[in-house]
Amino acid sequence: MKITDLEILTINDGGALMMVVVHTDEGIFGVGEVGLRSRQLAVRGALEHFRPLLVGNDPFRTEHLWQVMSRSGFYPADRVLASAISAVDIALWDLKGKALDVPVYELLGGAVRDRVKCYRHIGGADHAELVDNARRALEEGWTVGRLSVPSEGDLLEPRAATRHALAEVAAVRDELGSEFELILDVHTRLELPEATTLCRELEGANMYFIEDPLRWENPDIYRTLRQRTSVPLAAGEQAASKWEIRPLIEQDLIDYARFDICIVGGFTEAKKIAGWCESHHIRTATHNPLGPIATAASLHLNMTLPTFGIQEQYQLPGTQANDVFPVQATMDGEWMRRPEAPGLGLEVDLEAARAHQMEPPPMPQLRRLDGSFTNW
């Protein structure tokens, strides 16, 4: 079997899902998803560079092809290249599973659990709506929900946002008690002083974890925050490789590794990171605000990880792009079921995907009161 082409399709799944299809001379194809939903023109360019490196090669040589894509340009892969590599790598594993007629998780060492626990996003225009949505999620069988540090439209002032976040956590806790566990996603929006205040104030709230309390450019800053608070910390969704997330693992600066299989390098790299986490008793909480392919890939990975903690599930399976993905992963409440079909277990209608091409929309932008740019 040889790779014959690399097809790039951007489809509407509520956002802009960039799907990579690896075709072969035996008619079997695999699909992967790009994790970077911004700068997709740059990712497309990276994939165009990869096409001549891949065509004519044996698709089963996943580790070799990963090394070629990552290192053959001399400069180490960053988020743009790593997101392109991730999509190709996931597609290669999907293809391999289909060719061998086994689910991907069987190729990764086999299942270590029967199902995968997930958490969902909870939001609301005010405290009453937020509490109602959390109560509804609990009634539907979810026991862990993710809140976020709020903005006011396109305005985010760190001290005000910190106060609002603490009030939202308190509102849900007062109504639902500890039965519904809480994650707070800071989304890299705060600087060290406000992140410290937030984390310290939440030490008594029995949080599941605080997610991305600081910007990613300097992971070493987590050492300072770690010294200042005892609240569980989670980070890593912006990591592009094992090398970038290394300081957080080796220095025990996080409790949950939030790497994204569609950004960090696909199955090939994610398994290495997870093994490293296991040696430091760090659990995984895979980042997944993406589409059906990312959900399926995260599910197969998490079926195999002894150190698995929880999986983010923003987009519920079967609610988006059903014409392109008529068969997706399935859930019972907060539990994602063990898949049995070959590869990723998805059915993909390529003709439907080709008929629904779209341009990626602009990403949100936030500002401070003085008009300066701040992280979304």
pLDDT in tens, 169-201: 999 999 999 889 999 999 999 999 999 999 999
Tokens matching residue 343:
């590869």
Q: Residue by residue, what is the 3-state secondary structure of 115-163?
A: EEEEEEECCCCCHHHHHHHHHHHHHCCCCEEEEECCCECCECCHHHHHH
Of residues 312 and 178, the one with the higher pLDDT is: 312
Average pLDDT over residues 280-287: 98
Place of tokens 């992963």: 329
pLDDT of 360 above 90: no
CB 311, CB 298: distance < 8 Å: yes
> Which residue in the list 121, 127, 164, 187 is annotated as catalytic?
187
Distance CA 291, CA 166 (A): 30
Distance CA 138, CA 177 (A): 12
pLDDT of residue 359: 84
Q: Coil, strand or helix: which one is 99? A: helix
CB 315, CB 120: distance < 8 Å: no
CB 235, CB 258: distance < 8 Å: yes
Average pLDDT, the chain: 96
Element (H, E) at 67: helix 62-71
pLDDT in tens, 267-277: 999 999 999 99
pLDDT of residue 25: 98
Is 187 considered catalytic here?
A: yes
pLDDT of residue 126: 93
Amino acid at site 356:
H
Nearest to 133 by CA among 108, 160, 168: 168
CB 10, CB 19: distance < 8 Å: yes
- Cα 203–chain centre separation: 26
Residue 11 burial (10 A CB sphere; 0-12, 13-18, 19+) = buried
Nearest to 308 by CA among 317, 299, 296: 299
Q: Are strands 335-337 and 366-367 parallel, antiparallel or unpaired?
A: unpaired
Q: What is the largest CA-CA distance in the chain?
A: 60
pLDDT of residue 209: 98
CB 171, CB 131: distance < 8 Å: yes
pLDDT of residue 65: 98
Of residues 225 and 358, the one with the higher pLDDT is: 225
Share of the chain above pLDDT 90, in %: 94
How many Cα atoms are found within 13 Å in the side-chain-facing hemisphere of 131? 14
Tokens matching residue 354:
């080709």
What residues pair up with 256 in beta bridges, in sequence order? 234, 283
pLDDT in tens, 66-102: 999 999 999 888 999 999 999 999 999 999 999 999 9
Please state the φ and ψ torsions of residue 179, each to the nearest 5 degrees.
-65, -35
pLDDT in tens, 314-338: 989 999 999 999 999 999 999 999 9
How many Cα atoms are found within 13 Å in the side-chain-facing hemisphere of 174? 10
Strand intervals (E) in 190-237: 209-211, 233-235
pLDDT of residue 30: 98
Q: Are strands 3-12 and 16-24 parallel, antiparallel or unpaired?
A: antiparallel
Please state the φ and ψ torsions of residue 311, each to the nearest 5 degrees.
-115, 130
Is 164 considered catalytic here?
A: no
Distance CA 162, CA 197 (A): 8
